[in-house]
Structure 1
Amino acid sequence: MTLGLSAAQLAAGTASADDGSTPSTASDTDNGLRITGPPTVDAYAYPGESFAFLDSVRYLAAPEVGYEFATKRDSYGATPMMTMTTVDGTRRGETVTVPAELVDGMNGIKDGLRVRIVNSQGKVVFDEKRTLCPAGYDTRRIAPNGPSEASYPAFCGGNWFTRSVVFGVDQGWAANLEAYTDVKGVKIGHRLTMTTAITEPVAAFLGIPDSERKLKQKVTVRNASKEWGDDGGFAGEPVEGFSAEGADVGQLMQDVSPGTASAGGIEDSGVVERTPNLYLAEEVKRADNATASAKPGTKGAAPKVADPRDGTLPDLVAEPAWSIGTERQGGKDRLTFNAHEWNAGPAPLVVEGFRRPNKSVMDAYQFFYEDGEQVGYARTGTMKYHAAPGHNHWHFLDFAQYELVTPQGDLVTTSGKQSWCLVPTDPVDMLAENAAWRPELIGLESACGGKEATWMRESLPVGWGDTYAQYQTEAFDLTGVPNGTYKIRITVNPDGNLHEVTAENNVSLRKVVIGGKPGARTVKVPKIDGVDTETGDYLFATESARTAGTASMSSHSHH
């Protein structure tokens, strides 16, 4: 088998592929990416239906050298740029730029994967090109030469305000490729042949020889009722959540613009050297075994600090509102919107609640970390149990504020949303210093808690944000609000109770034009930085997932 191309050969191979010639390869050493999987898989159909569900098992493997991809954009409307770097142990190879025509926004490599299925008569029943996301929720170790745990995020993609994402395949690991397929025109008992291939232009760039870029699998269509019941799921049905056992969130998190980042741009730092976020590895282990205390000032706790150092602080940022609309609910017209706040670092935001003895509230404390070690804490507010449909968990009361204001900044009305359960739902800047690439390691089972909880930890790791959908009673009540131009003002840390690096980026404003008449109000939302954020509702967290103690990245509401 052939070696994946070096940085120089990658560039040369891409150029030759563009002019129609055959790209060069290096040596006979097994050093590059390859597609692999079992020779036989199953599909499932229900009796009487000509429709099957197929969730194949197939991987992109990196047996000897890891491959890291980083994509970033400098403004909301900028075109994302992707780079690729090979990683051999601690040695990083040359970073090369992925050709623009191969970049699908923040989602991965454009048209990099082709899935083709034929029936036993040779008729094509499915043929589709897909974005290649070299990540996956189900990573597998294939050799002892790489890291003991997968290091890259389990998905590709982002939201309107994502600045940068990172994905890849670790040395000695294989990443699960998106595999779900609906196949029409087939029935129980049919036998199919499925070929999954890295497409030729992408294979040329990655240095994957023809013999290693394709995987052929035999498929048998089985009875879903016998396997899963008449009202059950089917083979491989995704489960909400983004742990190793969760859904393939890479296909749920779809990039929604040609470029989204904070206005004013970000530094052109490329792939940064990341220091290990020991908070995610060590402190969480202690937290999982922690016992409740009325206050953190017990023996062995770190001392309280009145003025924590900047290196131990988060930087909370409010992004503009998006997915803005109107609804009629409870006899009232409301203005709905999504709100998004995130942590730019350099340290995680960690807030813990300690229940007052025999009381229904918790005292909230912010904890500070330096080089992975807890170095202090400070009182920062209150947590209360929110007993309401879709909630039934603990909320932190001092995180954000949502207001509708006039163009001059005068208050018109406030949102009904006054408390939060903080978990990382959206990647925003995976190239930020100390960014957490696998936030599921935090142990989100402690994030929201049940009624009986005596201790709570809520967190926003560096590089991650939390998206909330404001609708029904949490949206703006438009009763008595005249038609006209207004702004949605989002303020994170409105009371200044949370310690952070700066408050200069804590407020965002989004212009809206309200029209219509009572019972049928309308809203127009001008573009921001040339980008229309109202083309779809891409929301990546569910309240049910919070109640269950995991974060989910799917198109549902989040309270």
Structure 2
Amino acid sequence: MVKSRTRARQLVSAGIGLVAAALVVTTTVTANSGAASGTTGKGTLKLVAAADTVEVASYEGVAYVEPSVWLAAYDAAFEFRASHTAYDKPVKLTKTVIRGKKRTTTTAPASIVDGMKGFKDGLRVTLKNKAGKVVLDESRPLCPGGYDRQRVQTDGATGPVYPEFCGGNWFTKGVLYGIERGMAVPTVSDLEFETKGETALTMTLSVSKPVADFLGLPKASRSAKQNLVIVDGCPEGGCEGGEGEMSTHSAHGADEDQGARTVVPRESLEGAEDGRGRLPLGGGAGGTSHGKPAKSSLPDLVSVPAWQISTAVDEEGTDRLNFAANEWNAGPAPMVVEGFRRGTSPVMDAYQMFYRGGKQVGMKRTGTMEFHEAPEHNHWHFLDFAKYELVDAKDKVVSTSGKQSWCLVPTDPVDLTVPGATLRPGQTGLESACGSKSALWLRETLPSGWGDTYDQSQTQAFDLTKVKNGTYRIKVTVNPDGNLYETTRSNNVSHRTVIVGGKAGARTVTVPPYQGVDTETWWNER
């Protein structure tokens, strides 16, 4: 057991970070990165450098290297599947080489597997100055996937298929990533280092021998060397206004209390009482489902145990228990909720849309959406998705989260190996998913295999003022009122044990591991 601590949530991935830096190619592309050069027709992975020399921008003494060395797949697609049967069991990683209809699968030795993140110490990065002195020498996971894919063969895949990252969170069960035929992914996307006055360095990237052997990299294509020319990214006056800083989106944050939940039974949603149940914008009944939708068109909503748990004193001086919660869709169909504005009011009628084989096959009224006007929000929220409670040993509620509405987007992969899993969700940005104040319509989705994480702090965290020291459980319930149709509700509730201590103004919490998983450490410390 460990004492939890307050910190920002880390959505883990290798190769997902966006680097705010400028990298300029200054020489011609090397020969082995041509459209078909060096291909064998049998399927090969190669390390490919984009240029002999690149310019790297430095901001206030720190240089950021954007992708310039790639892992390229020639004449075949390479698919990697990482999964485990239980949270405390080792992750199994397989490689599948796909040539047309032929698939050849091999399992990686456990010694080179780095959980869901790819290959352990698979990539070595070395930087040397003009005098040959090593200024950086580090090993890092090798992720055979990435966000900035490049085509390397004219007859290869015309677009990406696999996810833009490797990894997940503490409760990720399985991920799938890879490199499409005739495409390449970056080997490094988040390399930064202190320049210490250096203006020219030599960078060598090399794949470790055990990993290179497993991947089948030719010996001549296991390393790449480049000259780095370091230039000032903030000339004449510096970088005022935050230029050069990096920012990423991960879990949703929290702000003020959103008020009491309004429970609307499904029966009233399907009728015409009080104007409820009417069709979008007065439309016809062509898309309405009569009776229960087919299981093949339904999602399976699952509650994940709470994690990243800590105590804090909020801005009003109230003791709080912070936590993160994730609810995910185990498939086989996506969960799609669409909102249609109710006249000119800041309310939308919400409908659950049912899909099978990529086509909409019906819909049901499922609740309401309201516009949430608050700092870092200012978008529409769905009101009937989840409930967070702190309960005692007898399941009696001792504190309730102020979180009452959700902007649903896929923030975390939980299991990309389930039937119907979506590898590249079409919408991952909050603005595009949850709409502006003037919107007439919006769509919020949870694709199969993905979950949505919310960080509960401030008034959305549990109020500990009247909570005595002792052992409690954080109870997370998805689809609490049963208004959303799904294949089963048997997995809608999860519990996480917490031990609350301390005194007013200095409350503490101890969080025992869950099924062998200590979620109160950084993911990279596992």
Please indicate, yes or no, whether the TM-score normalized by the shorter chain is above 0.5.
Answer: yes
Summarize the Cα distance change of 1:440–1:177 in structure 2 as closer, same or farther, 3 Å threshold: farther
Could you tell me how far apart the structure 1 residues matched to 2:59 and 2:516 are? 47
AA in 2 matched with 1:121: A
Could you tell me how far apart the structure 2 residues matched to 1:104 and 1:349 are? 31
Equivalent in the alignment of 1:125: 135
Q: Is the 8 A contact 2:47 2:69 kept in 1?
A: yes
Equivalent in the alignment of 2:227: 218
Could you tell me how far apart the structure 2 residues matched to 1:395 and 1:228 are? 43
Equivalent in the alignment of 2:70: 59
Q: What is the CA distance between 1:482 and its match in structure 2? A: 1.0
Q: What is the CA distance between 1:44 and its match in structure 2? A: 2.5
Summarize the Cα distance change of 1:376–1:68 in structure 2 as closer, same or farther, 3 Å threshold: same
Could you tell me how far apart the structure 2 residues matched to 1:167 and 1:228 are? 43
Equivalent in the alignment of 2:54: 41
**Paired residue for 2:490, among 504, 509, 528?**
504
Mapping of 1:66-77 within 5 angstroms? 66-77=77-88
Mapping of 1:65-144 within 5 angstroms? 65-89=76-100, 91-144=101-154
Any stretches of 5+ residues in structure 1 without a counterpart? 1-26, 243-248, 250-292, 539-559
String of CA shifts for 1:444-475, please: whole Å, max 9, x gaps. Answer: 65421111111110000000000111111000
Could you tell me how far apart the structure 1 residues matched to 2:427 and 2:178 are? 18
Equivalent in the alignment of 1:489: 475
Q: What is the CA distance between 1:28 and its match in structure 2? A: 6.2
Structure 1 residue 148 and structure 2 residue 158: aligned? yes
Structure 1 residue 196 and structure 2 residue 208: aligned? no
**Larger mean Cα displacement after TM superposition, 200-209 or 390-399:** 200-209
TM-score normalised to structure 2 length: 0.83
Q: Report the 3-state secondary structure (helix = DSSP H, G, I; strand = E; otherwise coil) of the residue aligned with 1:33.
A: strand
Summarize the Cα distance change of 1:408–1:454 in structure 2 as closer, same or farther, 3 Å threshold: same
Mapping of 1:140-179 within 5 angstroms? 140-179=150-189
Structure 1 residue 325 and structure 2 residue 337: aligned? no
Any stretches of 5+ residues in structure 2 without a counterpart? 1-38, 252-277
Could you tell me how far apart the structure 1 residues matched to 2:83 and 2:132 are? 43
Summarize the Cα distance change of 1:443–1:326 in structure 2 as closer, same or farther, 3 Å threshold: closer
Summarize the Cα distance change of 1:318–1:344 in structure 2 as closer, same or farther, 3 Å threshold: same
String of CA shifts for 1:512-542, please: whole Å, max 9, x gaps. Answer: 111111111111111111221111389xxxx
Could you tell me how far apart the structure 1 residues matched to 2:523 and 2:480 are? 26
Structure 1 residue 519 and structure 2 residue 501: aligned? no
Q: What is the CA distance between 1:305 and its match in structure 2? A: 3.0
Summarize the Cα distance change of 1:376–1:464 in structure 2 as closer, same or farther, 3 Å threshold: same
Q: What is the CA distance between 1:229 and its match in structure 2? A: 4.5
Could you tell me how far apart the structure 2 residues matched to 1:227 and 1:376 are? 60
Equivalent in the alignment of 2:368: 382
Equivalent in the alignment of 2:11: none
Structure 1 residue 32 and structure 2 residue 44: aligned? yes
Q: What is the CA distance between 1:300 and its match in structure 2? A: 8.1
Equivalent in the alignment of 2:381: 395
**Paired residue for 1:347, among 333, 345, 362?**
333
Equivalent in the alignment of 1:240: 248
Q: Report the 3-state secondary structure (helix = DSSP H, G, I; strand = E; otherwise coil) of the residue aligned with 1:473.
A: helix
Equivalent in the alignment of 2:22: none
Q: What is the CA distance between 1:238 and its match in structure 2? A: 5.0
AA in 2 matched with 1:168: G
The share of aligned pairs that are identical, in percent, is: 50
AA in 2 matched with 1:197: S
Q: Is the 8 A contact 1:41 1:219 kept in 2?
A: yes
Q: Is the 8 A contact 1:402 1:489 kept in 2?
A: yes
Q: Is the 8 A contact 2:386 2:476 kept in 1?
A: yes
Summarize the Cα distance change of 1:518–1:130 in structure 2 as closer, same or farther, 3 Å threshold: same
TM-score normalised to structure 1 length: 0.78
Question: What is the CA RMSD across the aligned residues, in angstroms?
Answer: 2.3
Q: Is the 8 A contact 1:44 1:234 kept in 2?
A: no
Equivalent in the alignment of 1:549: none
Q: Report the 3-state secondary structure (helix = DSSP H, G, I; strand = E; otherwise coil) of the residue aligned with 2:226.
A: strand
Q: Is the 8 A contact 1:446 1:458 kept in 2?
A: no
Equivalent in the alignment of 2:254: none
Mapping of 1:452-467 within 5 angstroms? 452-467=438-453
AA in 1 matched with 2:115: G
Q: What is the CA distance between 1:427 and its match in structure 2? A: 0.2
Equivalent in the alignment of 1:404: 390
Q: Is the 8 A contact 1:404 1:411 kept in 2?
A: yes
Summarize the Cα distance change of 1:117–1:159 in structure 2 as closer, same or farther, 3 Å threshold: same
Could you tell me how far apart the structure 1 residues matched to 2:483 and 2:42 are? 55
Could you tell me how far apart the structure 2 residues matched to 1:201 and 1:96 are? 14
